[in-house]
Amino acid sequence: MPWPQSESDGGRCATSHGRLGVPCVVRADRIGDRVPVFASGRVHSVFEHACNIETRTGELVTLLAQDLGNVPHGIRLAGPVAPFEPWLIPGQNAILDKVALRVSDAGMTVDLSGAAVWRGGVAAVAIDTRNATRAVALRELRTTLYECAPAQGFAPLLAAPASTRSSVDRAVAARLSHTLPLLARATEQRDVTAVAAAAARLVGLGPGLTPSGDDFIVGYLAALWSRAGHENGIDAMLHSLADSLAPLFLRTNAISRQMLSDAAQGRFAERLIDVTGAVAGMGDVVDATANALASGHSSGADTLCGLLFGYAPDMAMLAAPSSPHRPPGQPHLRAARLERRAGRAAALA
């Protein structure tokens, strides 16, 4: 007579019991709508609160700790989570199906059965320069961005002259001052080729695990998708752009590529979506901006630069507010709110 099986043995994997000698099952509460239904692959990269799994087809599915916002290709875990790093190692095999994500080499199973699907589409907003509310919202976005942005990435270069910076920073600033006006004009004229050409100058550019240029492009696309419902020609441009941009995305790393690819399809991270919602009048702009700045190191700021630019492609709009002038990163009331809101910097980039 076999011994009675325990009900909680669910998730036991075929091979070893992993590091701790016991199998473990965790539950997911959200699954992004871009996560494939079936896939097999390997662990690609592991960070403290996130882990990327690369599928055979080259997509990246991201396992997220609870305190991070959702992303289109993400599976977010319910409940507090130990750091991923001792558990998961790049190269471990992973299998994804409707019910679970299993990383057998780590003895870990993510139970997807209770996870709700999360859709990362932006809020539609009409940017009408005659609309005072929109203008105020954009100004608040800009002010918060420049007051709270870190010293890396595009934000400080756009805010202040780069004369005292390193030669690398000066080169980045030079590129931006050359490329962004081209991008502005191309957007105005709905010129897909020109937009792609400008994007080509930005892809993979700058510091960060997701380079600043990539974050900027994502923000820019978010703004366009946001405007698409209310302004002529943007919708069509975006659809053509998806094809034109795809080859460019190969010029950056896999993590950034997935993010860009989702953006080209109109799917964005939760915190970025919240900012678009706030600009559209559905939330507090300062809070949403502060929240978005809390993710990554300069990723959030670079993305918001792109967003701002996408809403109002205009170097003047992008420049730091003239009054009252504060160099980027100075503490301020808004920064205090940022700190209260910020958890750990997201390891997504």
Nearer to another protein, 27 or 190 (CB): 27
For residue 178, give the nearest of 156, 209, 157 by alpha carbon: 157
Q: Measured between alpha carbons, how far is 73 from 251 in angstroms, rounded to an integer?
A: 20
92 near another protein (CB under 8 A): no
Nearer to another protein, 250 or 336 (CB): 250
Residue indicated by tokens 């756009």? 158
- One of 298, 303, 309, 328 touching another protein (CB under 8 A): 298
Nearer to another protein, 21 or 324 (CB): 21
Which token pair is 139? 């100004």
- One of 67, 85, 128, 188 touching another protein (CB under 8 A): 85
Stretch that binds another protein, among 124-132, 189-197, 245-253, 281-289 (CB under 8 A): 245-253
Which token pair is 268? 């964005």
296 near another protein (CB under 8 A): yes
216 near another protein (CB under 8 A): no
Q: Measured between alpha carbons, how far is 150 from 226 in angstroms, rounded to an integer?
A: 26
**Smallest distance, another protein to C-beta of residue 36, A:** 21
Q: Measured between alpha carbons, how far is 111 from 94 in angstroms, rounded to an integer?
A: 13
**Smallest distance, another protein to C-beta of residue 110, A:** 9
Nearer to another protein, 252 or 291 (CB): 252
No. of helices (H) and no. of strands (E), the chain: 12, 9
- One of 144, 261, 289, 299 touching another protein (CB under 8 A): 299
Nearer to another protein, 73 or 134 (CB): 73
213 near another protein (CB under 8 A): yes
91 near another protein (CB under 8 A): no
Nearer to another protein, 149 or 347 (CB): 347
Distance (Å) of CA 243 to CA 1, 10, 198, 237, 286 = 62, 43, 15, 10, 35
- One of 26, 124, 246, 317 touching another protein (CB under 8 A): 26
Site size with another protein, rule: CB under 8 A: 66
**Smallest distance, another protein to C-beta of residue 253, A:** 5
Report yes or no: 306 and 211 within 8 Å, Cβ to Cβ: no
- Stated as kind and residue range, the H or E segment containing 62 is strand 60-64
User: Which 3 state secondary structure label does DSSP give 26?
Assistant: strand
164 near another protein (CB under 8 A): no
Report yes or no: 147 and 326 within 8 Å, Cβ to Cβ: yes
170 near another protein (CB under 8 A): yes
For residue 99, give the nearest of 112, 116, 110, 114 by alpha carbon: 112
74-77 and 60-64 strand pairing? parallel
**Smallest distance, another protein to C-beta of residue 158, A:** 16
Q: Measured between alpha carbons, how far is 197 from 187 in angstroms, rounded to an integer?
A: 12
Q: Measured between alpha carbons, how far is 122 from 274 in angstroms, rounded to an integer?
A: 8
69 near another protein (CB under 8 A): no
Nearer to another protein, 199 or 280 (CB): 199
343 near another protein (CB under 8 A): no
232 near another protein (CB under 8 A): no
CA 247 to the chain's CA centroid: 20
| DSSP tag of 119 | -
**Contact positions vs another protein (CB under 8 A):** 1-9, 17, 19-22, 24, 26-27, 44-45, 47-48, 77-83, 85-86, 152, 166-168, 170-172, 174-175, 201-211, 213, 250-256, 296-299, 345, 347-349
